[in-house]
């Protein structure tokens, strides 16, 4: 049934067989492989038997597709060595996970599903690449000098000598849901793996073992060091595969789009700054007294509305209307209307009068103005801040100053453009990150 194949390809098949479960053609690359899982029907075959006996039938691979970018047969480069993906195992973990909060610790029951990819190196060594919803981890097997295996979650654990005893991070069982490809890993009918782990910084130290169903003895213990890999590094390792290259091209396109949005944000930011420091020209200035002499009610401190001097605008454009507090010893509130010749309010500016700040800015507004005649109107509310002059007359000292500038740029459209571009850049970054 099998026919040896010899080619110069680093990862050429060492034999080809037909699945005894469904008849599909399968290839075996590693000469150390003892088992192969059919990618079509989920049968696990014993390569050590003459008729490739079906040991068991696991889950249908079509019901357990790969989680993201990696596929069977892909090649990758890690540490300048060429690898090929030759197997995938879908695991389901049922375990207890340690938590710590407000000085208290405990364990919660969890269930987790992940893929374990087997990568064969050109020098015939291999390593495991673990993939779950959180990302990728690279697993390296090692042999510890001292071993302390926990019996339950509250036991201490140690098998890396330099770490000493550590609290168990996770402990539980893992069972195979689906297997495809080839492996020298022993597949059994009731294959359940016990595992326990502890964490040091970003690295997980994991031990896995089986318990003999008849004798209940612990056997086949293995130890692993698992470190996270960045998605971009995994994409880089697999970049020579057409499907990964397509993903990288999309990421590059989204990055260009994101950069364009950032350049747009920078442009709007510079315009926003320029709008504040643009060369503006004073075209009109007026001083509105807080009240005419003799028109203050000494009891309430109120003055009637006061009209400013009329002025003419000859050129259509955007102007800045600025109101300054030139009063002395007065606290209160001023409301200034900017009005056309029909006494229709175009814009109003309001602010506080402060007895401690003479010449302070009450407020300003950018106004689009057509040619015409305009004036201002003042309403005032204030606490009694009445002074008496040498003649014995009571009055409020000072007034409200109105200044109008031409040649200004409105800042808010540029600020809005800045926010929109930053928002788009963030969206494009999220899309790029998820490619």
Residue 106: the pLDDT is: 92
182-216 tens-digit pLDDT: 887 766 655 678 899 998 888 899 988 887 767 77
180 pLDDT more than 70? yes
Summarize the confidence of residues 254-270 as an average pLDDT: 93
Summarize the confidence of residues 341-369 as an average pLDDT: 79
Beta strands 192-200 and 170-183: pairing type?
A: antiparallel
Q: How confident is the model at residue 419 (pLDDT cuts 50, 70, 90)?
A: very high
* Cα gap 42→335, rounded to integer Å: 80
Where is average pLDDT lowest: 74-88, 107-121, 289-303? Answer: 289-303
383 pLDDT more than 80? no
Residue 128 CB contacts under 8 Å (≥ 6 apart), including other chains: 116, 117, 118, 119, 138, 139, 224
Summarize the confidence of residues 374-385 as an average pLDDT: 71
- Alpha helices by DSSP H, 281-344: none
Kindly report the backbone phi and psi dihedral angles of residue 143, in degrees, each rounded to the nearest multiple of 5, phi listed first.
-115, 115
8 pLDDT more than 50? no
Residue 221: the pLDDT is: 85
Answer left, alpha or beta for residue 304, where phi above 0 means left and psi between -120 and 50 means alpha.
Answer: beta
Q: What is the DSSP string of 4-32?
A: ----S-TT--SEEEE-TTT--EEEE--TT
Residue 193 tokens, joined: 């793996």
Question: Which residue matches tokens 């990055």?
Answer: 255
Residue 426: the pLDDT is: 93
Element (H, E) at 268: helix 242-277
For residue 364, how far is the Cα from the chain centroid? 39
Kindly report the backbone phi and psi dihedral angles of residue 270, in degrees, each rounded to the nearest multiple of 5, phi listed first.
-65, -40
Kindly report the backbone phi and psi dihedral angles of residue 326, in degrees, each rounded to the nearest multiple of 5, phi listed first.
-110, 20
Q: How confident is the model at residue 294 (pLDDT cuts 50, 70, 90)?
A: very low
Q: What percent of the chain is predicted at pLDDT more than 90?
A: 30
Neighbours of 184 (CB within 10 A): 12
Residue 2: the pLDDT is: 43
Identity of the highest mean pLDDT range in 137-151, 399-413, 415-429: 415-429
Residue 92: the pLDDT is: 92
Number of Cα atoms under 13 Å in the Cβ half of residue 239: 12
Summarize the confidence of residues 34-48 as an average pLDDT: 90
Is residue 365 exposed (0-12), middle (13-18) or buried (19+ Cβ within 10 Å)?
middle
Alpha-carbon Rg of the chain, whole angstroms? 39
Residue 321: the pLDDT is: 86
pTM of the model as a whole = 0.65
Residue 9: the pLDDT is: 59
Q: Which of 212, 171, 217 is nearest to 190 (CA)?
A: 212
Summarize the confidence of residues 391-403 as an average pLDDT: 67
89-98 tens-digit pLDDT: 999 999 999 9
Q: Which of 60, 57, 73, 74 is nearest to 20 (CA)?
A: 57
Are 24 and 177 spatial neighbours (Cβ–Cβ below 8 Å)?
no
Long-range contacts of 128-132 (CB under 8 A, 24+ apart): 128/224, 129/70, 129/229, 129/234, 130/226, 131/66, 131/67, 131/68, 131/70, 132/67
Question: Which residue matches tokens 């050109």?
Answer: 122
109 pLDDT more than 60? yes
259 pLDDT more than 90? yes
Residue 158: the pLDDT is: 81
Where is average pLDDT lowest: 121-125, 204-208, 278-282? Answer: 278-282
Identity of the highest mean pLDDT range in 248-252, 302-306, 329-333, 378-382: 248-252
Q: How far is CA 345 from CA 29, 322, 378, in A?
A: 85, 16, 12
Q: Which residue has the higher pLDDT, 37 or 297?
A: 37
126-141 tens-digit pLDDT: 889 999 998 999 998 8
* Cα gap 268→120, rounded to integer Å: 52
Q: How high is the mean pLDDT of the chain?
A: 82
Residue 1: the pLDDT is: 42
Q: Which of 404, 407, 412 is nearest to 338 (CA)?
A: 404
* Cα gap 34→25, rounded to integer Å: 17
* Cα gap 298→383, rounded to integer Å: 10
* Cα gap 35→89, rounded to integer Å: 12
Q: How confident is the model at residue 241 (pLDDT cuts 50, 70, 90)?
A: very high
36-68 burial: b if 16+ Cβ within 10 Å, else e: bbbbbbbbbbbbeeeebebbbebeebeebebeb
Residue 358: the pLDDT is: 62
Strand locations in 184-305 (E): 192-200, 203-211, 218-229, 281-289
377: helix, strand or coil: strand
252-262 burial: b if 16+ Cβ within 10 Å, else e: eebeebbeebb
- End-to-end CA separation in angstroms for the chain: 43
Q: Domain locations in the chain?
A: 65-240, 252-276+414-434, 279-408
143-176 tens-digit pLDDT: 887 777 788 888 888 876 677 788 899 999 998 8
Q: How confident is the model at residue 377 (pLDDT cuts 50, 70, 90)?
A: confident
Residue 408: the pLDDT is: 73
CATH number 3.20.20.70 is the correct assignment for the domain at 279-408: no
413 pLDDT more than 60? yes
Q: What percent of the chain is predicted at pLDDT more than 70?
A: 84
233-248 burial: b if 16+ Cβ within 10 Å, else e: ebbebbeebeebeebe
Q: Which residue has the higher pLDDT, 386 or 364?
A: 364
Question: Which residue matches tokens 């140690």?
Answer: 158
């Amino acid at each position: 049934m099998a026919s040896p194949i010899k080619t110069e390809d680093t990862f050429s098949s060492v034999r080809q067989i037909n699945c005894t479960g469904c008849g599909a053609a399968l290839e075996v690359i590693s000469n150390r492989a003892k088992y192969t899982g059919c990618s079509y029907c989920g049968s696990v075959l014993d390569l050590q038997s003459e008729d490739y006996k079906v040991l068991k039938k696991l889950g249908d691979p079509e019901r357990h597709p790969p989680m993201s970018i990696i596929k069977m047969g892909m090649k990758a480069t890690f540490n300048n060595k060429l690898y090929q993906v030759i197997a995938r195992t879908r695991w389901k973990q049922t375990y207890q996970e340690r938590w710590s909060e407000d000085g208290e610790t405990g364990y919660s029951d969890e269930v987790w599903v992940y893929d374990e990819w087997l990568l064969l190196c050109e020098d015939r060594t291999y390593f495991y690449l673990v993939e779950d919803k959180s990302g990728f981890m690279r697993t390296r097997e090692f042999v510890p000098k001292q071993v302390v295996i926990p019996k339950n979650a509250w036991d201490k654990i140690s098998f890396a000598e330099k770490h000493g005893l550590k609290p168990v991070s996770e402990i539980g069982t893992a069972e195979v849901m689906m297997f495809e490809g080839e492996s020298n890993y022993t597949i059994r009918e009731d294959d359940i793996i016990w595992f326990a782990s502890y964490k040091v910084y970003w690295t997980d130290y994991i031990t896995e073992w089986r318990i003999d169903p008849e004798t209940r003895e612990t056997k086949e213990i293995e130890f692993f060091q698992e470190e996270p890999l960045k998605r971009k590094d995994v994409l880089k390792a697999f970049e020579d595969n057409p499907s990964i290259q397509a993903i990288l091209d999309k990421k590059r396109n989204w990055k260009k789009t994101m950069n364009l949005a950032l350049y747009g944000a920078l442009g709007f930011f510079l315009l926003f700054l320029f709008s504040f420091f643009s060369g503006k020209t004073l075209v009109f200035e007026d001083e509105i007294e807080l009240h005419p002499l003799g028109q203050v009610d000494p009891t309430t401190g109120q003055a009637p509305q006061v009209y400013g001097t009329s002025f003419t605008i000859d050129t259509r454009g955007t102007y800045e209307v600025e109101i300054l507090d030139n009063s002395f010893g007065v606290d209160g509130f001023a409301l200034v209307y900017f009005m056309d010749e029909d006494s229709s309010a175009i814009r109003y500016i309001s602010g506080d009068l402060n007895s401690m700040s003479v010449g302070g800015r009450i407020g300003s507004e950018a106004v689009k103005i057509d040619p015409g005649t305009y004036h201002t109107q003042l309403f005032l509310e204030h606490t009694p801040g009445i002074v008496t002059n040498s003649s014995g007359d009571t009055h409020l000292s000072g007034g409200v100053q109105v200044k109008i500038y031409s040649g200004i740029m409105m800042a808010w459209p540029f600020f809005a453009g800045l926010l929109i571009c930053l928002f788009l850049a963030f969206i494009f970054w999220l899309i790029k990150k998820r490619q």
